[in-house]
Structure formats: C-alpha cells, structure tokens
Structure 1
Amino acid sequence: MARKQSDYLAALLADEEMAETKAEKSAEAISESPQDAESPSPAPPRGERLRGTTLLGRESALARVASGEVRQVTQLLLDPARVRVWKGNARSYEHLSEESCAELIDSIIAEGGQKVPAVVRRIEGDPDHDYEVIAGTRRHWSISWLRANSYPQMQFVAQVAQLDDEAAFRLADLENRARKDVSDLERARNYAQALHDHYGSHLTRMADRLKLSKGWLSKMIKVASLPDQVVAAFASPADVQLKPAYALSQALDDRKAAPAILREAKAIARLQDEHRREGDPAIPANEVIARLLAAPERNAERTGGPVTYNSGFDRPALTLQSVNRQGVTLRLHSGSGMSLEELVELARCVLVDLELEGRGLQR
C-alpha cells in the first residue's frame, strides 16, 4: 500500500480507536458510581478490551471505505525526473522560467514543500518515466528547478488518476482556464490539436463537451492557424492575444495580402532578435500587430511611387524615393525630431524590408 494511503487509513483507524477508548472510560466512570458500588461488575482485562476495540475500529474503517462513505485518494512523492509532461497540455513547458514561476517557487520554499498535488497518470513502455503530468505543469517545473538549485530533498507530490486522453484533456483545460499565464495562442493550438485527436474535427461536439461557445471556440481554432513565422515577430507567444490575432489570421486568408504580411513578420523578427542581443526593450505587441496589418497597404504604396515615413512627432523623417536596378534612393528630412541614431535605424529597417521583398541591394 502506498505511504500516503496507509497513513490515511492509520489516521482513520486512530480516530475510531479514540472514540472507542472514550466510550470505555465513560462506561468505567458509570460502573464506579455510588449507586452501583454495592454490586460491582468485574471488567475484562485491559489487553482484551484494546484488542476488541482495535478490531472493531478496523472493521468499521474498512466498511466505510468499501461503502464509498470514505474515499481513498492516493498521493505519491515522486522524483520529477521520472515524470514527463503530457504533450496534450496547453502550457508550453519550454517557456517556463524562474521568473515566471517565482511566486510558486517562493511559496513551496516557505511551506516546506509542495502542498497542492498535481494530477498524473501511470504510463507504460517508457524506460525513463513512470508517470506523466496531466495537471500541474508549473508545479513539476518548479520542483525540478528547486532540486537543481539547493533543494535536492524536494519531491513532486502527485495524485494518481486513471484517465483516457479525452478526459485528461478536459481536466487540463479546466485547470488552464483559471491560469492567466497560459496564453491565448497556447490554448488555441491545444484546442486545434484536441479537435483533431479527440473530437473527429467536429467543432460542435467539442464545444458541447467543454461547455464553451461554439463561436468563441471557432475563433480560437482560427488563431491556432497563425504560422510560426508570424508568431516569431512577437517578443513572446504570450503576446499573441485572441482579438487582434483573430484579425491577423483573417488577413492572412487574403492571398494578395499574405506575402506582404509574412515578409513584414520576418523583418520584425530580426529586429526583435537584435533588441534581445543588445538588451533593448522588445517591440510591443500592439505595434507588431499594427505593422503586420498595415504591411499589404504599405507594400502597394511602395510599388506605386515614393513612400514617406513619419517620426513620432508626425513629421516626415525618411522618404523611399525609388527602387530600381541601379539602387535604392532614400531621402532623410531635416526637422523630423528624430536623432541621428533613430534615423539610421529607420533607414536600416526600410532596407531590410526591401531585401525581404526581393527588391533590395543584394538582388
């Protein structure tokens, strides 16, 4: 019997024995009252009484378990290295970090261990793992991090459940709905995969099982279709929110607009990488969305004649005057309010965009 289960039954039996012992003492007090002093009844030896109450208590406890009045919940103390994360969970394990789990890590340290058990199920055929996490990915990551960082005694507390994949998905989804750190994109892609794996691509059936609006679920599935090339333009997948991402995914359905959006996404992704290397702030999500949605119109303007880029003061800063086989002609405007470094960065961005469109200096 598992340690937690045996402890639970032991405590249950202890309660029964304590109740029986109290009854014994009460009976002894009554038998010693003045009214019965003249005809005392001999009490059985204490050893026999204890054996009898122990057996009665044990039978009572087991009967309560068998009848369903008391439910046994098996909890295990596991080495997280022997537990893998179920691939059907929405949360992106590789994007978890000390920073994103800081509050949970501090709580585990303060409480001397993990108090809320994760939900796992047993697996077969994997020599490296015995269980997989259905709900509790952040707890698994945090315990793993603590064991690797000065807390080797920490163990992963888990409750074992017998679940098929569809039931496991619904359980994980219920937990993730309450978590703000699970992004819309993560959930959208998780739903899209589950729609195929568990519901035979029947959206109505899935919406009914999850108790979700069919319209809302449809939008989530649409957002899941965003290509990785576009997602890379954002500083983090967590920045991809449902409402603007849905508009972006609809724009990509336009065959004429899609190439310009994809080229712009590549250009922004390069800038994001440079900002990370230099330690500069990332390009915010609202600006990324605005640039991606404006890319088709901006591309049409470029092919039709000069294009002027304004500064943050809404003054002309740079004009792309011409692009031809002889080269690219840029005009920098005075009085734009931009510094020299900002003008150079703007010119570089324009040249990178042209390069991605196949109209740059390297063609």
Structure 2
Amino acid sequence: MARKQSDYLAALLADDEPIEKSSKDDLIQAESQTPAAPPAPVETPRAERLRGTTLLGRESALARVASGEVRQVTQLLLNPERVRIWPGNARSYEHLTEESCRELIDSIVAEGGQKVPAVVRRVEGDPEHDYEVIAGTRRHWSIAWLRRHSYPDMMFVAQVAQLDDEAAFRLADLENRARKDVSDLERARNYAQALKDHYGNHQTRMAERLRLSKGWLSKMLKVAALPDDVVAAFASPADVQLKPAYPLAQALDDRGAAQAIHREARALARLQDARRKAGDATLPAAEVLQRLLAAPIGDKRPAGPLAEWVNPRTQRAAVSVLSSNRQGATVRLHAGSGSNTEDLLNGIRDVLERLAADGKGVQA
C-alpha cells in the first residue's frame, strides 16, 4: 500500500519532476536514541567491491537531489492535532464516525500503528497547525480518535510533499476514486469547486488533467448543482448517486417541473425527519427519486378550481376561478346554479378577495 501511495504521487507529478522516496533513515522517531554501532566486519575483496558500488550509487543519488533532478519525500511521525485537513479534499471530515472508520481503527491497533503514510504539505501563517492533509483524511481521523481512546502515544505517519493546489487536488482525487465511502455527490461538488479554483471553468482542460471523459465529467458537474433542499429529501447525501441523480438534475432545468420537484422535496424532507424521530426506517433512495421525478407529472393532472363560490340559496356552485396569473384570471360562471346577476357579482367579488388574501390575486 505504501508503494501504491508513492506511485500515486510519482504519477501525478510525472509532468513536473520525478519523486524519489527517502530511505528509512529519513523517518523521524520521537526522542529515540541511536544504538551503539556493532564492530565492523572484516571485508573481503567482494565486500569491498560491493561497498564501492553502494557508495557510488549513494553519491549519485545525492547528486541528483542536489541538482534538483529529484525531490526527497520525508516521512514524519506527527501529532494529529498539529495537522489540519485541506479543504480541497472531497471527503467530508465532519461526517466521519467511529462506525465508518471501525475497520481502519482495528487494523491500526492490530499492526501496532499506522503503516500506510498519509500525504501532507507544510502550511505557513497558522500558529495552530504545521501541516495539512492532502490524502489520508480517514487515517488522520482514526489516529486522532485512538489518541483520545486509550492510545495517547499513537502518531500520525505522514509523507511530506511539495504540491501546489492543483496537484494536491489531483492526488486527493486519485485516492478518493478507489474509496467506496466517498459519495458521488461529495466528489461531484468537489469537482465543481475545483473547476472554478484550478481550471478557470474550462471543463475540457479539467477532464484532460484528470484523465476523465468530458461526458462523464459533465454529468458529475450537473449532479453537483442539485439544490440542498432536493438533497435533503434523501435519507443521506450518500444516497445521491450519479446515474440515478442525473435525470433528476436534468428535470430541474424545466422551471415548471422544478417548482413541483421542490415542493415534493420539502414534503419528503419533513417525512424523513419524522421517521427518524419516531425511530422508523427512512425512505430508500429509489423511492425518493421516483417520487421526485413523478412530482411534475402529478402537477399536470386535472385539478380543482383555485377558488369557488357556492350560492347559499341554492347550495350549488355558481362561480369558479380556474387560473390566475400576471396576465389575468379565468373565471367560470356555472349554468344551472339558480343564481341571478346580483348573486354572480357577489360570487365573483368573494373569490377574487380570497385569491388576493392568498397572494394570488389579479393586479390591475
């Protein structure tokens, strides 16, 4: 895994400078002492040749570092409290829990510490933090949790790298693609922010840098635009997956359909909240999506009048308002209601006053 992490970094910076991982001598161990060196063995001619080759290789490596041909990436043992989370990462740190990190926590305890280093970079001007996490948010959360729960000496193992924001975003994105616990919505919104921050709103350039298809990136950005009140209709933002959510995002482009979807979303959000409080199971994502997409269809079904006046003498409907908008109102006078002219005028006045009270009145 550590090899894989280094390969991520090397691949991302391949168009800049190659990266060479530092040796184990570069690991910083807190308050450790160097043991006394054992007696030097008697060297044979073969050993001398091997030592000469090793020294030549080491001198060559040092020369490459000094010339700037390669950069060393140092691993550190850090207190997680001195390390902040880079906001450009898609993963939502505040939504991490003991349950979601349980497998990782158990693995760290079983192995006696964190084996796969995170990737961090130095920060300036922050008195409370020395580094920020580019890749390894769950590892940071898990180590911080263990330090609060019976493992106060547990250290956060991190690999320090020099990365600008765009390279940091690409590295974090590569790691997140392999993580099932990073939802499509989190990634989509992370992409939408990165499009503005790093790529000047040029989708083609972003797709090329991330090695993604332009069509797939376009769909991700479309889903990223889902309004918060629509997302709230789902039991969790993690339920918003790319393939089923894309038609919903498209439906919101129609103004009339969007109004119906927003109304249904608010009703569903209230229902989900009531179910949580009652201890009942929340509605599954498939059902929520079906109801949201069906909302505009329901709005197109024949509906009753906006307002209606019933003649009190005959107990029959005499005046109905079928529609009301900025262009005017459509009023229907019912035949056979037993109403005279005075009755109809009273009925019209009554329905118009009620529409005005509801904010749907006709403006002269």
**TM-score (ref. length: structure 2):** 0.69
SS in 2 for 1:264: helix
RMSD over aligned Cα atoms: 3.3
Cα distance in 2 for partners of 1:59, 1:144 equals 41
Deviations 1:155-193 (A, max 9, x none): 111000000000000010111111111111011001111
Equivalent in the alignment of 1:265: 265
Closer, same or farther: CA 9–143 of 1 in aligned 2, 3 Å: closer
Counterpart for residue 90 of structure 1 = 90
What does residue 21 of structure 1 align with?
Answer: 41
CA distance in 2 between counterparts of 1:152 and 1:9 reads: 20
Q: How does 1:279-290 map to 2 (within 5 A)?
A: 279-290=279-290
Rounded to whole Å, the distance in 2 between the matches of 1:197 and 1:159 is 25
CA contact (8 A) 1:5 1:75 kept: no
Distance 1:143 1:302, change over 3 A: farther
Distance 2:24 2:117 in 1: 17
State the Cα distance separating 1:9 from its structure 2 match: 9.1
SS in 1 for 2:73: coil
State the alpha-carbon separation in 1 of the partners of residues 135 and 27 from structure 2: 26
2:61 pairs with one of 59, 65, 71: 65
TM-aligned CA distance change 1:71 to 1:132, over 3 Å: closer
Q: 1:102 to 1:9 in 2, by over 3 A?
A: closer
**Deviation at 1:25?**
8.8
Q: 1 CA distance for matches of 2:97 and 2:46?
A: 59
Cα offset for 1:206?
0.5
Aligned positions, number: 275
Q: Which residue of 1 aligns with 2:325?
A: none
Determine whether 1:7 maps to 2:3: no
Displacement of 1:266 in angstroms is 1.0
Give me the whole-angstrom Cα distance separating, in 2, the residues matched to 1:249 and 1:137. 29
Q: Which residue of 2 aligns with 1:121?
A: 121
* Aligned match of 1:182: 182
How far does residue 23 in structure 1 lie from its aligned partner after superposition? Answer: 2.6
Whether the 8 Å CA contact 1:234–1:283 is kept in 2: the answer is: yes
How far apart are the structure 1 equivalents of 2:294 and 2:243?
17
The alpha carbon displacement at 1:67 in A equals 3.9
State whether residues 230 and 265 of structure 2, in contact with CA within 8 Å, keep that contact through their aligned partners in structure 1.
yes
Distance 1:278 1:62 in 2: 67
Task: Return the alpha-carbon distance in structure 2 between the equivalents of residues 297 and 118 of structure 1.
Answer: 49
Cα deviation, residue 152, structure 1: 1.1
Instruction: Name the SS for the 1:134 alignment partner.
Output: strand
Separation in 1, partners of 2:267, 2:58: 68
Cα shift at 1:277: 1.7
Q: Distance in 2 between matches of 1:186 and 1:199?
A: 19
- Find the aligned partners of 2:226 and 2:27 in 1 and give their Cα distance: 52
Going from structure 1 to structure 2, the CA distance change for 1:290 and 1:227 (only over 3 Å counts) comes to same
User: How big is the shift at 1:212?
Assistant: 0.4
**Identity rate, percent:** 70
Shift of 1:71: 7.6
1:248 aligns with 2:244: no
Rounded Cα–Cα distance in structure 2 between residues aligned with 1:300 and 1:138: 47
In 2, Cα distance between equivalents of 1:209 and 1:26: 49
Who is 1:236 aligned against?
236
User: How far has the Cα of 1:147 moved from its partner?
Assistant: 1.1
Higher share in helix: 1
1:245-280 CA distance string (max 9 Å, x none): 110011111100111111111111111112222221
SS at match of 1:138: helix
Per-residue CA distance 1:133-161 (angstroms, 9 max, x = gap): 00001101111111111211111110000
Q: Displacement, 1:299?
A: 2.8
- Whether contact under 8 Å (2:108, 2:114) holds in the other structure is yes
1:158 corresponds in structure 2 to 158
Residue of structure 1 in register with 2:310 after alignment: none
Question: Which segments of 5 or more consecutive residues in structure 1 lack a partner in the other structure?
Answer: 28-48, 306-323, 325-357
Conserved 8 A contact 1:275-1:281: yes
- Which AA in structure 1 matches 2:118? A
Query: After TM superposition, where is structure 1 displaced by more than 2 Å over at least 4 residues in a row?
Result: 4-10, 20-27, 56-62, 67-73, 299-305
